[in-house]
């Protein structure tokens, strides 16, 4: 029974990873596609490849998700908690994808795990949730907004005497690099979250010990799933990020991608914090747009996005709690 459940949880985790890829594909490539720096197919291929590579660059975020959020019991009950948490995250990903809202797959996963753990009366490490999730959730968009604005102001000043046409052409080439950096950071952050959940399931099932290195097959499978999901694309969300918040030009796209990827690297490598790539890139786009004029940002659309951000953790937690009760009734 336990082995079958472990296999089931791993499969569900990889399904979540896949939905994460197509849900968040827009994070890396929406600005490059909207400014015509890259064609959609070229952008998707590049993002998929860089996501795969980024998944191999560290394990700090995976360790936070795998041991710093919840402490499920050993055996069947623990596996049900992890599986229900993943189901909550997947359902919320699909809902927000359907409506074209760039919500956070990361926070959906955290909310799902917390919701199923609470439903099972399992231990939730609230200090880890606050320090590693809630505080970064508030700070990272502010940093993304500010850094995006600062980079954009610097670009305006440095290229103030340059010809607009020549400058735009140059930044289209530069966006190839910044979009690749953004996709690499997405793999570094989001693929690791799935690795952490799979390792948590292995630990609960007795097939791994806390503190061990994450098995190579876990890394490869998570990297592959998120890359395939990225290749599938997320066109609904791509339109929201690429055009509906603000109509971007190449310098603005470069500034937003550079700011967002910088925040992702610092959070993952420096703090092991599972921050939302969606929150960071969206806030960076807003910051870049605000330097032109505040009215350039469609704040109504931005408000809808922020509402989705606020709802993500509790909504995913609620779905996960319901899934836990159903699965627990069927299995235990």
How much is the pTM?
0.86
Q: What is the 3-state secondary structure (H, E, C) of the chain?
A: CHHHHHHHHHHHHHHHHHHHHHHHHHHHHHHHHHCCCCCHHHHHHHHHHHHHHHCCCCCHHHHHHHHCCEECCCCHHHHHHHHHHHHHHHHHHHHHHHCCCCCCHHHHHHHHHHHHHHHCCCEECHHHHHHHHHHHHHHHHHHHHHHHHHHHHHHHHHCCCCCHHHHHHHHHHHHHHHHHHHHHHHHHHHHHHHHHHHHHHHHHCCCCCCCCCCCHHHHHHHHHHHHHHHHHCCHHHHHHHHHHCCCCCHHHHHHHHHHHHHHHHHHHHHHCCCCCHHHHHHHHHHHHHHHHCHHHCCHHHHHHHHHHHHHHHHHHHHHHHHHHHHHHHHHC
Mean pLDDT for back-to-back runs of 10 residues, the chain (332 residues): 86 92 69 74 84 89 88 92 94 81 81 96 92 88 93 94 87 88 88 92 90 91 91 61 60 90 90 82 85 65 69 93 91 70
The pLDDT value given to residue 298 = 62
Do residues 204 and 79 make contact, with C-beta atoms less than 8 angstroms apart?
A: yes
């Amino acid at each position: 029974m336990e082995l079958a459940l472990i296999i089931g949880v791993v499969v569900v985790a990889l399904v979540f990873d896949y939905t994460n890829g197509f849900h968040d594909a827009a994070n890396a490539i929406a600005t490059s596609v909207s400014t015509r720096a890259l064609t959609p197919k070229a952008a998707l291929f590049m993002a998929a490849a860089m996501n795969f590579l980024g998944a191999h660059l560290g394990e700090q975020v995976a360790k936070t998700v795998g041991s710093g959020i919840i402490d499920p019991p050993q055996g069947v009950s623990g596996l049900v908690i992890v599986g229900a948490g993943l189901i909550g995250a997947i359902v919320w990903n699909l809902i927000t994808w359907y409506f074209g809202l760039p919500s956070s797959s990361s926070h959906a996963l955290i909310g799902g795990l917390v919701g199923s753990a609470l439903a099972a009366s399992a231990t939730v490490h609230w200090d880890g949730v606050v320090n590693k999730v809630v505080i970064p959730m508030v700070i990272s968009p502010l940093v993304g907004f500010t850094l995006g604005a600062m980079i954009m102001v610097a670009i305006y000043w440095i290229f103030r005497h340059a010809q607009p046409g020549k400058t735009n052409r140059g930044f289209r080439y530069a966006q190839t690099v910044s979009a690749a950096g953004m996709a690499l950071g997405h793999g570094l952050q989001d693929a690791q979250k799935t690795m952490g959940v799979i390792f948590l399931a292995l630990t609960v099932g007795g097939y791994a010990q806390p503190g061990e290195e994450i098995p190579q097959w876990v890394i490869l499978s998570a990297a592959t799933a998120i890359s395939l999901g990225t290749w599938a694309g997320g066109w609904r969300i791509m339109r929201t990020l690429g055009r509906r918040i603000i109509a971007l030009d190449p310098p603005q796209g470069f500034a937003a991608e550079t700011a967002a990827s910088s925040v992702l690297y610092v959070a993952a490598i420096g703090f092991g914090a599972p921050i939302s790539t969606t929150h960071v890139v969206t806030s960076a786009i807003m910051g870049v747009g605000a330097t032109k004029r505040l009215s350039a940002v469609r704040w109504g659309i931005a408000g809808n996005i922020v509402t989705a951000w606020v709802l993500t953790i509790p909504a995913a937690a609620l779905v996960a709690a319901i899934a836990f009760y159903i699965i627990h009734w069927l299995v235990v």
